[in-house]
Protein backbone atom coordinates (compact mmCIF):
# COMPACT_ATOMS: atom_id res chain seq x y z
CA UNK A 1 0.00 0.00 0.00
CA UNK A 2 2.79 2.42 0.90
CA UNK A 3 4.58 1.66 -2.38
CA UNK A 4 1.39 2.43 -4.34
CA UNK A 5 0.95 5.72 -2.51
CA UNK A 6 4.57 6.68 -3.23
CA UNK A 7 4.19 5.80 -6.93
CA UNK A 8 0.89 7.72 -7.06
CA UNK A 9 2.60 10.83 -5.64
CA UNK A 10 5.42 10.50 -8.19
CA UNK A 11 2.86 10.21 -11.00
CA UNK A 12 0.89 13.11 -9.52
CA UNK A 13 3.95 15.35 -9.83
CA UNK A 14 3.71 15.09 -13.62
CA UNK A 15 0.09 16.26 -13.64
CA UNK A 16 -1.10 19.86 -13.73
CA UNK A 17 -3.10 19.18 -10.54
CA UNK A 18 0.04 18.45 -8.47
CA UNK A 19 0.30 21.89 -6.84
CA UNK A 20 -3.40 21.75 -5.90
CA UNK A 21 -2.98 18.40 -4.14
CA UNK A 22 0.11 19.63 -2.31
CA UNK A 23 -1.67 22.85 -1.36
CA UNK A 24 -4.68 20.95 -0.03
CA UNK A 25 -2.55 18.73 2.21
CA UNK A 26 -0.42 21.67 3.36
CA UNK A 27 -3.50 23.77 4.17
CA UNK A 28 -5.23 20.97 6.04
CA UNK A 29 -2.12 19.97 8.02
CA UNK A 30 -1.85 23.43 9.54
CA UNK A 31 -5.29 23.27 11.09
CA UNK A 32 -6.52 19.68 11.52
CA UNK A 33 -4.94 17.01 9.26
CA UNK A 34 -2.31 14.74 10.87
CA UNK A 35 -0.06 14.10 7.84
CA UNK A 36 2.62 16.74 7.11
CA UNK A 37 2.99 18.10 3.56
CA UNK A 38 6.63 16.95 3.52
CA UNK A 39 5.29 13.48 2.72
CA UNK A 40 4.05 14.85 -0.62
CA UNK A 41 6.69 17.54 -1.14
CA UNK A 42 9.68 15.18 -1.10
CA UNK A 43 8.48 12.70 -3.76
CA UNK A 44 7.11 15.55 -5.89
CA UNK A 45 10.46 17.37 -5.87
CA UNK A 46 12.30 14.07 -6.47
CA UNK A 47 10.12 13.54 -9.51
CA UNK A 48 10.21 17.14 -10.74
CA UNK A 49 13.29 18.98 -9.34
CA UNK A 50 12.68 21.77 -11.87
CA UNK A 51 9.52 22.66 -9.91
CA UNK A 52 11.10 22.53 -6.43
CA UNK A 53 10.76 26.27 -5.75
CA UNK A 54 7.19 26.49 -6.99
CA UNK A 55 6.24 23.49 -4.83
CA UNK A 56 7.92 25.12 -1.81
CA UNK A 57 6.01 28.34 -2.52
CA UNK A 58 2.67 26.50 -2.72
CA UNK A 59 3.40 24.56 0.49
CA UNK A 60 4.39 27.76 2.32
CA UNK A 61 1.45 29.86 1.16
CA UNK A 62 -1.17 27.21 1.83
CA UNK A 63 0.41 26.22 5.15
CA UNK A 64 0.14 29.80 6.39
CA UNK A 65 -3.43 30.06 5.07
CA UNK A 66 -4.30 26.83 6.89
CA UNK A 67 -2.51 28.22 9.93
CA UNK A 68 -4.89 31.17 9.92
CA UNK A 69 -7.79 28.71 10.01
CA UNK A 70 -6.10 26.97 12.94
CA UNK A 71 -5.65 30.34 14.62
CA UNK A 72 -9.37 31.05 14.12
CA UNK A 73 -10.24 27.65 15.62
CA UNK A 74 -8.18 28.53 18.68
CA UNK A 75 -9.51 32.07 18.96
CA UNK A 76 -13.16 31.46 18.17
CA UNK A 77 -13.86 27.77 18.62
CA UNK A 78 -11.38 26.46 21.19
CA UNK A 79 -14.10 25.39 23.64
CA UNK A 80 -15.61 23.11 20.99
CA UNK A 81 -13.52 22.28 17.91
CA UNK A 82 -10.10 23.25 19.28
CA UNK A 83 -10.49 21.33 22.50
CA UNK A 84 -11.83 18.33 20.58
CA UNK A 85 -8.69 18.32 18.37
CA UNK A 86 -6.40 18.59 21.39
CA UNK A 87 -8.34 15.78 23.13
CA UNK A 88 -8.12 13.67 19.97
CA UNK A 89 -4.33 13.95 20.06
CA UNK A 90 -4.23 13.61 23.87
CA UNK A 91 -2.60 17.01 24.30
CA UNK A 92 -5.00 19.03 26.42
CA UNK A 93 -2.62 19.38 29.39
CA UNK A 94 0.23 20.31 27.09
CA UNK A 95 -1.89 22.96 25.43
CA UNK A 96 -2.33 24.87 28.68
CA UNK A 97 1.41 24.83 29.39
CA UNK A 98 2.05 25.85 25.80
CA UNK A 99 -0.36 28.75 26.24
CA UNK A 100 1.64 29.91 29.27
CA UNK A 101 4.85 29.67 27.23
CA UNK A 102 3.49 32.37 24.90
CA UNK A 103 3.52 34.85 27.77
CA UNK A 104 7.21 34.17 28.34
CA UNK A 105 8.64 33.33 24.92
CA UNK A 106 6.25 34.79 22.32
CA UNK A 107 7.97 34.92 18.93
CA UNK A 108 10.43 32.12 19.70
CA UNK A 109 7.65 29.60 20.23
CA UNK A 110 6.31 30.05 16.69
CA UNK A 111 9.75 30.24 15.10
CA UNK A 112 11.05 27.10 16.73
CA UNK A 113 7.88 25.02 16.59
CA UNK A 114 7.33 25.74 12.89
CA UNK A 115 10.64 24.05 12.08
CA UNK A 116 10.37 21.06 14.41
CA UNK A 117 8.41 17.83 14.10
CA UNK A 118 5.88 19.16 16.62
CA UNK A 119 2.67 19.34 14.57
CA UNK A 120 2.14 22.90 13.37
CA UNK A 121 -1.62 22.70 13.91
CA UNK A 122 -0.92 22.67 17.64
CA UNK A 123 0.99 25.93 17.30
CA UNK A 124 -1.73 27.56 15.19
CA UNK A 125 -4.65 26.60 17.43
CA UNK A 126 -2.73 27.49 20.58
CA UNK A 127 -1.74 30.85 19.09
CA UNK A 128 -5.40 31.63 18.58
CA UNK A 129 -6.60 30.69 22.04
CA UNK A 130 -3.58 32.38 23.63
CA UNK A 131 -4.58 35.60 21.84
CA UNK A 132 -1.17 35.94 20.19
CA UNK A 133 -0.91 38.99 17.90
CA UNK A 134 -2.29 37.98 14.47
CA UNK A 135 0.17 40.14 12.50
CA UNK A 136 3.20 38.60 14.22
CA UNK A 137 1.70 35.13 14.00
CA UNK A 138 1.28 35.50 10.23
CA UNK A 139 4.72 37.02 9.64
CA UNK A 140 6.52 34.45 11.77
CA UNK A 141 4.53 31.64 10.15
CA UNK A 142 5.69 32.77 6.71
CA UNK A 143 9.29 32.87 7.94
CA UNK A 144 9.34 29.52 9.68
CA UNK A 145 7.19 27.53 7.26
CA UNK A 146 8.93 29.09 4.28
CA UNK A 147 12.32 28.20 5.72
CA UNK A 148 11.22 24.63 6.32
CA UNK A 149 9.75 24.03 2.86
CA UNK A 150 12.38 25.93 0.86
CA UNK A 151 15.27 24.24 2.67
CA UNK A 152 13.65 20.83 2.19
CA UNK A 153 12.91 21.52 -1.49
CA UNK A 154 16.45 22.79 -2.03
CA UNK A 155 18.04 19.75 -0.43
CA UNK A 156 15.80 17.33 -2.29
CA UNK A 157 16.32 19.04 -5.64
CA UNK A 158 20.10 19.02 -5.14
CA UNK A 159 20.36 15.43 -3.88
CA UNK A 160 17.23 14.06 -5.53
CA UNK A 161 18.85 11.17 -7.39
CA UNK A 162 20.35 9.78 -4.18
CA UNK A 163 17.13 10.42 -2.26
CA UNK A 164 15.06 8.69 -4.93
CA UNK A 165 17.41 5.70 -4.82
CA UNK A 166 17.00 5.49 -1.04
CA UNK A 167 13.21 5.88 -1.29
CA UNK A 168 12.98 3.26 -4.05
CA UNK A 169 15.04 0.74 -2.08
CA UNK A 170 14.04 1.52 1.52
CA UNK A 171 10.61 3.14 1.39
CA UNK A 172 9.26 1.26 4.42
CA UNK A 173 12.26 2.20 6.58
CA UNK A 174 12.01 5.86 5.52
CA UNK A 175 8.27 5.86 6.23
CA UNK A 176 8.89 4.32 9.66
CA UNK A 177 11.46 7.04 10.40
CA UNK A 178 9.00 9.77 9.36
CA UNK A 179 6.32 8.27 11.61
CA UNK A 180 8.83 8.04 14.48
CA UNK A 181 9.72 11.72 14.06
CA UNK A 182 6.02 12.64 14.06
CA UNK A 183 5.39 10.62 17.21
CA UNK A 184 8.44 12.21 18.82
CA UNK A 185 6.95 15.62 17.98
CA UNK A 186 3.70 14.76 19.73
CA UNK A 187 5.54 13.34 22.73
CA UNK A 188 7.82 16.36 22.84
CA UNK A 189 4.89 18.73 22.81
CA UNK A 190 3.13 16.75 25.47
CA UNK A 191 6.05 16.45 27.89
CA UNK A 192 8.03 19.61 27.23
CA UNK A 193 5.11 21.89 27.96
Q: Is the pLDDT of residue 134 over 80?
A: yes
pLDDT confidence of 153, banded at 50, 70, 90? very high
Q: Model confidence at 63, in pLDDT bands (50, 70, 90)?
A: very high
Other CB atoms within a 10 A radius of the CB of residue 6 amount to 19
Asked if the structure places residue 20 within a domain, the reply is no
Residues spanned by the domain of 103: 2-11+40-192
Residue 24 in any domain: the answer is no
Any idea what the Cα angle at residue 56 is, between residues 50 and 141, rounded to 5°?
Answer: 165
The mean pLDDT of 81-102, rounded to a whole number, is: 68
Inside any domain, residue 21: no
> Does residue 178 carry a pLDDT above 70?
no
pLDDT surpasses 60 at 193: no
What residues contact residue 26 under an 8 Å CB cut-off, 6+ apart? 37, 58, 59, 60, 62, 63, 66
Q: Is the pLDDT of residue 78 over 70?
A: yes
Task: Look at residue 22 and tell me if it is in a domain.
Answer: no
Asked whether residue 74 is assigned to any structural domain, the reply reads yes
Mean pLDDT score of the chain: 79
Determine the pLDDT at residue 147.
92
The predicted pLDDT at position 48 comes to: 86
Q: Is the distance from CB of 27 to CB of 65 less than 8 angstroms?
A: yes
Mean pLDDT along residues 69-78 = 87
Summarised one tens digit per residue, pLDDT across range 21-61 is 899 989 998 887 777 888 888 888 888 889 999 999 999 99
Phi, psi of 192 (to 5 degrees): -80, -25
Rounded to two decimals, the pTM is 0.77
- Tally the domains of the chain: 1
Amino acid sequence: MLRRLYEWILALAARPSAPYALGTVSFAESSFFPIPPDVMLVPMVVSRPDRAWSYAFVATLTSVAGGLVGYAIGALLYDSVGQWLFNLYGLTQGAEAFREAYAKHGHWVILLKGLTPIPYKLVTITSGFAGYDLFWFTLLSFLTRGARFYILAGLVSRYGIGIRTVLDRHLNAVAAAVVAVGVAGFVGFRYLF
